[in-house]
């Protein structure tokens, strides 16, 4: 299994597990909390079939990656991503971030620029700024995040069950667009994640990405469900679209937070259309010439 070393903790290395498949233009898929790169199960085959090189990886603390007790904030997480892109020597890549992974995309572009990246996609993303403040009234009160931390501390496994039910709007979509087995599989991955990482990521959710987003100048696509209970569209996807000048927006009717699974057909078509737009334009120019 391929790993990349991104740091050191006492006597042990901090390694990220990644998978690198296919050929063509690279697409890097960055998963959400509290899952792993395996959560892109419905996107990887579609991208490979369309002729792209697809890279997934597990964030530190999650999946098959190392579980250090530090580094669960976005500057470090973006640095981890930069080390992966450098290791694989990727250029002209597309970064696709789901939920918490959207924060990595925003912070990476804000900190490292777009020398290795030509397009960005935010799916049900945590951006731009979740915390309610006097100058960010659209955010969520800090007490909500305090409550999440208390629930994780009290019974992490029980909290994950309730979280995943809302993740998929299971009371509405269960047995139709998502099975109980999928939810159970997600719970297994989440339960196996680092308890420290699971907890510490909550404070990272309060990161302000507004400047990062405002500085993005590459083609960008925002995909969000209008029934997202975890990161409601009005507070996240809609505002992300406004902040990234010239970005495209795809709103999925009835889509919960976990749209990459429940509405994979729509997500994949939107993603492939966005990725292929430039390629199709070049083909048309070639025909004219």
Fold of 3-288: Rossmann fold (3.40.50)
pLDDT of residue 286: 45
pLDDT of residue 197: 98
pLDDT of residue 289: 43
pLDDT of residue 278: 52
pLDDT digits (tens, 9 = 90+) for 239-255: 999 999 999 999 999 99
pLDDT of residue 285: 46
* Sequence-distant (≥ 6) Cβ neighbours of residue 240 within 8 angstroms: 102, 122, 125, 127, 128, 213, 222, 247
| Catalytic positions | 99, 228, 257
pLDDT of residue 281: 47
pLDDT of residue 105: 98
pLDDT of residue 151: 98
pLDDT digits (tens, 9 = 90+) for 25-84: 999 999 999 999 999 999 999 999 999 999 999 999 999 999 999 999 999 999 999 999
CB 17 within 8 A of CB 63: yes
pLDDT of residue 25: 96
Q: Mean pLDDT, consecutive 10-residue segments, the chain of 289 residues?
A: 94 98 97 98 97 98 98 98 98 98 98 98 98 94 96 98 98 97 98 98 98 98 98 97 98 98 98 80 47
DSSP code string of the chain? --EEEEEEETTEEEEEEEEEE-SSSEEEEE--TT--GGGGTTTHHHHHHTT-EEEEEPPTTSTTS---SS--SHHHHHHHHHHHHHHTT--SEEEEEETHHHHHHHHHHHHHTTSSEEEEEEES---S--B-BTTBTTSB-HHHHHHHHHHHHHHHHHHHHHHHHHHTTHHHHBTTTB-HHHHHHHHHHHHTS-HHHHHHHHHHTT---HHHHHT--S-EEEEEETT-SSS-GGGTHHHHHHHSTT-EEEEETT--TTHHHHTHHHHHHHHHHHHHHHHHHHHHHHHH-
Domain definitions of the chain by residue range:
3-288
């Amino acid at each position: 299994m391929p790993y990349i070393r991104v740091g050191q903790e006492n006597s042990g290395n901090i390694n990220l597990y990644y998978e690198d498949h296919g050929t063509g233009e690279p697409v890097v898929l960055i998963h959400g909390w509290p899952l792993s790169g395996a959560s892109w199960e419905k996107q990887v085959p579609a991208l490979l079939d369309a002729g792209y090189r697809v890279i997934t990886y597990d964030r530190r603390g999650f999946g098959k990656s190392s579980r250090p007790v530090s580094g669960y904030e976005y500057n470090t997480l973006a640095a981890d991503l930069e080390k992966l892109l450098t290791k694989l020597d990727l250029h002209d890549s597309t970064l696709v971030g789901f939920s918490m992974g959207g924060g990595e995309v925003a912070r990476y572009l804000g900190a490292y620029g777009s020398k290795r990246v030509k397009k960005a996609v935010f799916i049900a993303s945590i951006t731009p700024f979740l915390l309610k403040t006097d100058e960010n009234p659209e955010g969520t009160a800090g007490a909500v995040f305090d409550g999440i931390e208390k629930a994780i501390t009290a019974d992490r496994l029980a909290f994950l069950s309730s979280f995943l039910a809302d993740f998929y709007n299971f009371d509405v979509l269960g047995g139709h667009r998502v099975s109980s087995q999928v939810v159970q599989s997600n719970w297994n991955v989440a339960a196996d994640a680092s308890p420290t990482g699971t907890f510490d990521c909550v404070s990272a959710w309060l990161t302000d990405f507004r400047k990062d987003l405002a500085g993005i100048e590459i083609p960008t696509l925002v995909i969000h469900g209008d029934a997202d209970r975890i990161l409601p569209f009005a507070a996240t996807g809609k505002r992300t679209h406004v902040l990234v000048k010239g970005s495209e927006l795809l709103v999925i009717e009835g889509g919960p937070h976990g749209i990459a699974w429940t509405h994979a057909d729509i997500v994949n078509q939107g993603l492939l259309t966005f990725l292929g737009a430039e390629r199709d334009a070049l083909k048309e120019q070639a025909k004219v010439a």
